[in-house]
A and B are shown apart, each in its own frame.
Chain A
Amino acid sequence: MNPVLAADITLPHINYGAIAPILILLGMACVGVLAEAFLPRTLRYPVQVLVSLVAQVAGLATIIGLALSNYAKKPTLTAGDALAVDGPGLFLQGAVLVLGIVATLLIAERSVERGGAFVAQAAVTAGSEADAEQARRQPSQTEIFPLSLFALGGMMLFVSANDLLTMFVALEVFSLPLYLMCALARRRRLLSQEAAVKYFLLGAFSSAFFVYGIAMLYGFAGSVKFHDIAVAAISSGKSDLLMFIGLAMLAIGLLFKAAAVPFHVWTPDVYQGAPTPVTALMASCTKVAAFGGILRIFYVAFLDSRWDWRPVIGVIAVLTMVIGAILAVTQTDIKRLLAYSSIANAGYVLTGVLAMQKDGISSSLFYLVTYGFTVLAAFGLVTLVRDQDGEATHLSRWAGLGRKAPVLAGVFTFLMLSFAGIPLTSGFTGKFAVFSAALGGGQTTLVIFGVLSSVLLAFPYLRVVVLMYLQEPAADAPTVAVPGALTSAALAIGAIVTLLLGVWPSVLLDVANSAAQFVG
């Protein structure tokens, strides 16, 4: 009765070499889980740090090898067209790993807070006697390392997914570990758990929209491959209504991860409550992954229908830039301030994406990397300002830090200037790239709002600088911890890259330019 049941199943060919980076990350994450199960407690930390870093460096080396062996020029589809190995895919995978390595250094730090920033036993009730005991004495659990490897592997899968189902599975593979990692702070555990609950419930809500969008597009095109959707979009006789409902729901799922207004409400709460190294990972790597997915969907599947949806996404970009900047002005907590600034930055990347031409892709790729390094260094510095309750994140506590810790205040000032887009920093070159791409794509209105928003956003950054230098430190001012080797390395990498890409942006812009061609 049903002819499709009789069809033979042929296994798709899988080009293992081309997807080796993803396999390395996910494989090493499994090794990490086994190490957690079989190694004695004392050995776990060094082994896990080693496994984590080796996996990411090996993955990065494989990506560079693939890019040099012309996969970027001659892109391929593999695993039954489910995965695309092309320029943007490899660039984004590399970006996720480079930022992931720096974030791992922050996660692995154990000297700033004795025993590390993570809880020893997450199952212990927060606020109980046993909880105080674990916060004082026991070293952090090491599950955080395999969790972060799974998250990074999922992000790499997400940016190279070439059909909606693979994209959905990858979205969950990187989201689920992040939900857990948010709940693992050593101190202020109630805040941390609350952040995890909020992130989880809203994240699950948004992925339900994503699934329903997939169903609508499957009904529209009869397939979930991006290429088939693009073909169906230009052929007449299909129901446009299904396509637009599907695209809208898909966009809700993706813009939630990218923290665009009006899907941003989780961002400040989660960024504040989560352990700061995890916040750094989310602000840099998750943003790269989310925009990688957005770029691929808009540029591969919906390029030909752009005249219909571009105004809507344009309104979202304007709202994101303006509301992110306005709310950043009113913040009194440094982590929330950085969260609202990351929302506004999502708007700037979206402006670059909406250029809808080649330099739109390359400028967005470039911006994501520059922003990622700066935000990693900024959150790294936030971990160092401490009092007896852990990190002192209230802005009033940062008064007078310029006198107590000139080096820290100097580096932080430099990072704030980069966020504000002052020339000779990567924040300037990145904004210049996305705004000029958007101008070239005819998006003048977006650029006007973007420039206005960055002027507005400069105010909260400079307020922090003024606070650090021009105010007297309070009597009980927080101390500035001496960073351990790992945090120092992360801070140095972040600050140097911020300077380097500000002075000499062509290093990375050329790579981004040569990578900016999606496989269809």
Chain B
Amino acid sequence: MTPTYYLVLSAALFCVGAVGVLIRRNAIVVFMSVELMLNAGNLALVTFARINGSLDGQIMAFFVMVVAAAEVVVGLAIIMSIFRTRRSASVDDSNLLKY
């Protein structure tokens, strides 16, 4: 099986994630969509590592995973603190700052 299929899959995952960020309302789901985009990046990195015959891409995927984990910690803390006050995680309710 040629590695190109994995690139197509990764591009499809990235697009699904990007569309999810743009159309979903719940902050947690939006954030999950961002994680999907990051993992699409990981898949592309690993596939290119295979195509290029070097290990760099696989190592980079580990770095991206660690950074994504750190991002989850910060992100959930922020979303939790706003949820406690508003009793809602909808991004549409965050409408105090505009114009």
Contact = CB atoms under 8 A, between A and B. Distances in A.
A212 B37 contact: yes
A166 to B, nearest CB: 9
Contacts of A196: 78, 82
B55 interface: yes
Interface stretch (A44-52, A137-145, A198-206, A429-437): A198-206
A164 to B, nearest CB: 9
A224 B98 contact: no
A201 B52 contact: no
A201 B31 contact: yes
A208 B38 contact: yes
Given A4-B54, A204-B34, A219-B44, A193 B81 contact: yes
A165 B63 contact: yes
B91 A197 contact: yes
Interface string B14-36: 10011001000001001100100
A215 B52 CA distance: 12
Contacts of B30: 201
Contacts of B71: 172, 176, 204, 207
Given A208-B17, A208-B38, A215-B44, A197 B78 contact: yes
Contact of A215 (B18, B48, B94): B48
A219 B86 CA distance: 44
Contacts of A207: 38, 71
A33 interface: no
Interface stretch (A123-131, A289-297, A395-403): A123-131
B78 A200 contact: yes
Contact of B94 (A189, A194, A205): A194
B60 A198 contact: no
A125 B45 contact: no
A336 B97 CA distance: 10
Interface in A75-124: 122-123
Nearest to B58: A4
Interface in B39-73: 40-42, 44-45, 47-49, 51-57, 60, 63-64, 67, 70-71
B77 interface: yes
State which size class the interface on B falls in. Answer: 35 or more
Interface in A270-308: 272-273
Contacts of A273: 96-97
Contacts of B1: none
Interface residues of A, number: 48
Contacts of A123: 81
A339 B47 CA distance: 41
B23 to A, nearest CB: 13
Query: Main SS of chain B's interface residues?
Result: helix
Interface in A179-230: 179-180, 183, 189-191, 193-198, 200-201, 204-205, 207-209, 211-212, 214-216, 218-219, 222-224
B72 to A, nearest CB: 10
Contacts of B2: none
Contacts of B96: 190-191, 194, 273
Contacts of B44: 212, 215-216, 219
A219 B97 contact: no
A188 to B, nearest CB: 9
B74 A126 contact: no
B57 A218 contact: yes
Contacts of B18: 205, 208
Given A165-B60, A169-B63, A194-B96, A179 B78 contact: yes
A168 interface: yes
A413 to B, nearest CB: 26
Given A125-B84, A201-B30, A168 B63 contact: yes
A387 interface: no
Nearest to A126: B85
A183 B45 contact: no
A197 B56 contact: no
Contacts of B52: 218-219, 222
A273 B94 CA distance: 12
Contacts of B82: 190, 193-194, 196-197
Q: Report which residue of A3, A183, A197 has the largest number of chain B beta carbons within 10 angstroms of its beta carbon.
A: A197
A204 B31 contact: yes
Contacts of B57: 215, 218
Given A194-B96, A216-B44, A222-B54, A200 B91 contact: no
Contacts of B47: 219
B51 A190 contact: no
A200 B21 contact: no
A201 B96 CA distance: 16
Nearest to A127: B85
Given A196-B82, A204-B34, 6 more contacts: A168-B63, A190-B82, A193-B81, A196-B78, A218-B49, A222-B54
- A-B residue pairs, 10 tightest by C-beta: A208-B37, A215-B44, A211-B41, A219-B48, A269-B97, A126-B85, A193-B82, A222-B52, A194-B94, A212-B41
Interface of B: 7, 10, 14, 17-18, 21, 27, 30-31, 34, 37-38, 40-42, 44-45, 47-49, 51-57, 60, 63-64, 67, 70-71, 74-75, 77-79, 81-82, 84-86, 91, 94, 96-99
16 contacts: A4-B55, A176-B70, A180-B77, A193-B85, A194-B96, A197-B78, A204-B71, A207-B38, A212-B37, A212-B40, A215-B41, A215-B44, A219-B44, A219-B51, A272-B97, A273-B96
